[in-house]
Amino acid sequence: MNFGLSTYFLVKMRFRDALKHIISSGFNTIELSLEIPHVLEIDRDVINYLKYLRSDGIDFSMHAPFLEINLGSFFEDVRRYSKKRIIHAINTACAIGCNPVVIHPCYTFVKDKSKSIEAETRENFIQDLKEVLELAYENGIKIALENVHMPFFFFYNMDDFKALKEIIPGLGIALDLGHAFIAKRTEGIDNPEQSIIEDIEYIGMENIFHVHLHNNYGSKDEHLFLHGDMDIKQIISFLKTKDYSEKIIIESSDPELYGMDSVLKKIEELKDC
């Protein structure tokens, strides 16, 4: 299975140092987070360095900006700024050769409270997502929309995605297992891992473009890897039975907290499950 690490969780290091640390630890799959502080270091020289790494066998995905971003926002100035940053991420991914690009869904805090604002915001999101997807498609890049565990986002459960997919056929999922686990626990589901597996079967493996892997204790988005209540092995074992070969990106601060050796040992356990 194709396990990798995200640069977002190595922010104590400079960007190039984080890349070197990941690669020297034995990973050849990396998710580049186009977020602060590392985004401030990404200039033409860094892009050329990333292109060199890719030519040397390193496989990249990209996480588009998400801090203070709301693609399709009800507020036009926020909407324009968000789309500008997402488009910049796609152009940067194209220059480097990153695939897929992960995007967070739009949200509104008046979801299920003000139907008119919710409907207008959702329509904005669909329009912007279509534009982003078209740009990505022209450049051979897949867009993977990430599920978020808070119901005021427009991709909270698989029915949300299914409705979007009917309108935007080329859209795929960045399945965030930690987020999915919290959502299941919040809903009071007794076996959240089995419910996640059933969601994958319901939506179809062909729609799972990407996976984010992290753990928690069912209430907070703690981004753990070595600890947590979710039975990660159960879900990874299922993905193995389906011959899943896309990237599985570990989103956790555990490499900084406990060292790479502990993380690599855990990955080997998952590969053997």
Chain centroid offset of residue 127 CA: 21
Q: Which pLDDT tens digit goes with each residue over 35-51?
A: 999 999 999 999 999 99
Q: How confident is the model at residue 231 (pLDDT cuts 50, 70, 90)?
A: very high
| Mean pLDDT score, 15-27 | 98
Mean pLDDT, residues 243-252 taken together = 98
pLDDT tens-digit series, residues 129-177: 999 999 999 999 999 999 999 999 999 999 999 999 999 999 999 999 9
* Mean predicted lDDT score pLDDT of the chain: 97
For the chain, the straight-line distance linking the first and the last C-alpha, in angstroms and rounded, comes to 11
**For the segment 77-129, what is each residue's pLDDT rounded down to a tens digit?**
999 999 999 999 999 999 999 999 999 999 999 999 999 999 999 999 999 99
Half-sphere CA count of 122, side-chain side, radius 13 A? 18
Tokens 């190039």, located at residue: 16
Q: What confidence score (pLDDT) does residue 165 get?
A: 98
Nearest to 2 by CA among 228, 269, 210: 210
Task: Measure Cα distances from 243 to 29, 85, 143, 176, 249 in Å.
Answer: 18, 34, 21, 18, 17
Supply the pLDDT for residue 273. 86
* Separation of alpha carbons 166 and 162, rounded Å: 6
Residues with Cβ < 8 Å from 205, sequence gap 6 or more?
242, 244
Say what the pLDDT of residue 240 is: 97
Question: How large a percentage of the chain has pLDDT more than 70?
Answer: 100
Kindly calculate the radius of gyration of the chain based on its CA atoms and give it in whole angstroms.
18
Class of residue 113 by CB neighbours under 10 A (exposed 0-12, middle 13-18, buried 19+): exposed
Q: How high is the pLDDT of residue 127?
A: 98
**pLDDT of the residue at 23:** 98
Structure confidence by residue, pLDDT tens digits, 165-177:
999 999 999 999 9
Closest listed residue to residue 181, CA positions, set 245, 237, 228, 251: 228
The H or E element that residue 126 is part of is: helix 115-138
